[in-house]
A and B are shown apart, each in its own frame.
Chain A
Amino acid sequence: MDSTMLPEVTAVGVIIKAVLILAVIAAIAGFGTYIERKILAFMQRRLGPQHVGPYGLLQLAADGIKLFTKEDIIPQHANKIIFAVAPVITAATAFIALAAVPVFPGFTIPLVDVYVPSIASDINVGILFVLGMMAAGLYGPLLAGMAQANKWGILGSARTAIQFLSYEVVTGLSILAPIMMVGSLSFVDFNDYQADGTWLVVYQPVAFVLFLIAGFAETNRTPFDLLEHEAEVISGYVTEYSGMRWGLFFIGEYANMITIGVIASVVFLGGYNDFWIFPGWLMIIGKIAFSFFFMLWVRAAWPHVRPDQLMWLCWKVLMPLAVINVVITGLVMMII
């Protein structure tokens, strides 16, 4: 696709895209809880939710009603302002990060002739912005845990700090090698780089695996869900939360899962390019859906690690691997 052929990006298009992202992702994030329960249930040969609506599809509505009508408790000795703001940080940063992520290929709305770009704002440091926003999202758990005057919360936020310090370096270093190959930080360039059909994962399998591992840590998913592991720290940073504030944390978490899925698809798995007979939008939806499914699958299959194991893994195994990968990529690029 030649960029000069593209219609002009207008404010209307950007707004449509933003609304689309907000509406679709927020809905999917809520729906994700249903899918997660269903898939985990099937993997354990259970039925999952099935009494509210056909196949339990309206469970989501029931949960929503429950979350909205539940009493919103702020503990007596909590720092009230921070306690109230923390969930908003998680949810807001998750959606802000989605602003710079391409979710669908660009398209033109037929009748009104408005071009909707693939990214709400295609900033030239897209990857850095998204990773930074997701990292900032961890302020949510950190502050929430410290503000709630609860020892389990404190433990949760201590673990947040540990997790943050561990995986962030791996995320950055693992994605550095593809950045070197593409020579840009914009997601659109990544996508166009793979337009010939060769996915970057072919050149960078190690970086892909490292990024996936770090992605699991970034979204607090199961092998690394130490922030809120019930068996150890009650609920960690969400111990004292109830109602919709608690819900916001989880909308943020599911939105982050989608973001990681999008980044993995666009950076490593060929983005929203057409593939064989499948159009691009179908491809990207398929890839995002698969990575979402993969996260649930992993949750059903794998045990979770201790905080010290996470640090050990990130600093002693993954980071050296990432550095070696970057060095080798650099050498190969120099020679070729």
Chain B
Amino acid sequence: MSLEQFKNRNVGTQNYVKLDLAHTPTTGWGQFKQVVGRTFKPELFVGLWVTFREMGNALVGGKMHTTQYPFEKLPISPRYRAIHDMLRLMESGNYRCIGCGLCEKICISNCISMETKYDENQRKEVSEYTINFGRCIFCGYCAEVCPELAIVHGPRYETASEQRASFSLFEDMLTPIDKLNLQQEYDGFGAISPNADENIKPTPLAY
């Protein structure tokens, strides 16, 4: 499913097909007719045929439905909210986070904690940044509020681990510098919508 489809989900406009169910017979003769009709209608054989056809499809038609999970994975929706990623700037390789603290402020379960300081260029530097994943409810607010698209929800949904700490440090979430060219721009939760350009009203310059 593409992102547009995800963002424009109007419940109730799908093409539902209503079953054409006959009325339950009330008279004895009606019931008898129903029984005889069902006996000689090949409904049961239709069922047999369908399962057999599907077996053929699966075995020779290459329509086997199983995903062998640990070895193969299905693509997940861009809106999926898994363990966070901290992204880097593509050009300089510097991390995007400007230490504004908005994510720490908005987090409803109070699980982001960060410390910042000024570096030698009087630029704000993040010296500590952790998310306590024991408390995070993966609401996505931090990703939505971040002005720099720095903190996003990544695709790592396999979060079984011996230590919560294995995920929660800044360095763990930050894109490794040598994998910078593999970094995906985030188009899910909190990202600007695909039709953002249309929604922008030109600011009047003169009042």
**Dominant secondary structure of chain B at its interface with chain A:** helix
Residues of B contacting A44 with CB < 8 Å? 51, 54, 65
Return 23 A-B CB contacts under 8 Å, by A number: A39-B55, A42-B58, A43-B51, A43-B54, A43-B55, A43-B58, A45-B55, A45-B57, A45-B58, A45-B64, A46-B58, A47-B64, A47-B68, A297-B48, A297-B51, A298-B48, A300-B51, A301-B47, A301-B48, A301-B50, A302-B44, A302-B47, A317-B39
Contact A47 B66 (CB under 8 A): yes
Which of chain A's residues have a CB closer than 8 A to the CB of B65?
44-46
Pair A42/B55 contact, Cβ less than 8 Å: yes
- Give the residues in chain A near B22, CB-CB below 8 Å: none
In the complex, how many angstroms separate the beta carbon of B52 from the nearest chain A beta carbon?
7
Bound: A317/B58 CA distance, A: 37
Cβ distance A213 to chain B, nearest Cβ, rounded Å: 11
| A residues neighboring B (CB under 8 Å) | 39, 42-47, 297-298, 300-302, 317
B41 vs chain A, min Cβ distance (A): 14
Most buried by A among B35, B51, B57, B64: B51
* Structural contact, B63 and A45, CB atoms closer than 8 A: yes
B21 contacts A by Cβ under 8 Å: no
Chain B: number of interface residues, binned into ranges: 10 to 19
- Rounded to whole angstroms, the CA-CA distance of A297 and B55 in the bound complex is 10
Q: How many Å from the CB of B21 to the closest CB on chain A?
A: 16
Across the two chains, which residue of chain B brings its CB closest to A316?
Answer: B35
Contacts of A298 in B (CB 8 A): 48
Residues in A neighbouring B55, C-beta threshold 8 A? 39, 42-43, 45
Inter-chain CA distance A297–B49, complex, in Å, is 10
Cα separation A42 to B35 with both chains bound (whole Å): 32
B205 located at the interface, meaning its Cβ lies under 8 Å from any Cβ of chain A in the complex: no
B62 smallest CB distance to A (angstroms) = 11
Complex alpha-carbon distance, A300 and B44, angstroms: 12
Contacting pair A45 B54 (CB below 8 A): yes
Known interface pairs A45-B54, A45-B66, A47-B66; 6 further A-B residue pairs with C-beta atoms within 8 A, sorted by A's residue number: A42-B55, A42-B58, A43-B52, A43-B54, A44-B51, A46-B64
B-side residues, CB < 8 A to A, are: 35, 39, 44, 47-48, 50-52, 54-55, 57-59, 63-66, 68
The chain B residue sitting closest to A312, CB to CB, is B35
A46 to B57, CA, bound (A): 11
List residues of chain B with CB within 8 A of the CB of A46.
58, 64-66
Query: In the complex, which residue of chain A has the Cβ closest to the Cβ of B65?
Result: A45
Question: A42 to B57, alpha carbons, bound, how many Å?
Answer: 9
Give Cα A301–Cα B44 distance, bound, in whole angstroms: 8
Q: Is the CB of B68 within 8 A of A297?
A: no
Complex CA distance for A43 and B55, rounded to whole angstroms = 4
Q: How far is the CB of B55 from chain A (nearest CB, A)?
A: 5
Which of A43, A44, A300 has the most chain B CB atoms inside 10 A of its CB? A43
Chain B: CB-nearest residue to A303: B47
Contacts of B59 in A (CB 8 A): 42
Closest to B68 in A: A47
CA distance A47 to B44 in the complex (A): 25
**B59 — nearest CB in chain A belongs to which residue?**
A42
Q: Would you list the 3 A-B pairs with minimal beta carbon distance, nearest first? A: A301-B47, A45-B65, A45-B58
A residues in contact with B57, CB < 8 Å: 45
Residues of chain A with a CB closer than 8 A to B68's CB: 47
Q: Which residues of A contact B48 (CB under 8 A)?
A: 297-298, 301-302
Chain B residues in 8 Å Cβ range of A43: 51-52, 54-55, 58
Measured CB to CB, the closest approach of chain B to A332, in angstroms, equals 23
A39 to B54, CA, bound (A): 11
- Determine the chain A residues whose CB is within 8 A of the CB of B51 once the complex forms: 43-44, 297, 300-301
Chain A neighbourhood of B54, CB < 8 A: 43-45
Chain A's nearest CB lies how many Å from the CB of B133?
31
Chain A minimum-CB-distance residue to B58: A45
Q: What is the CA–CA distance of A43 and B51 in the complex, to the nearest angstrom?
A: 5
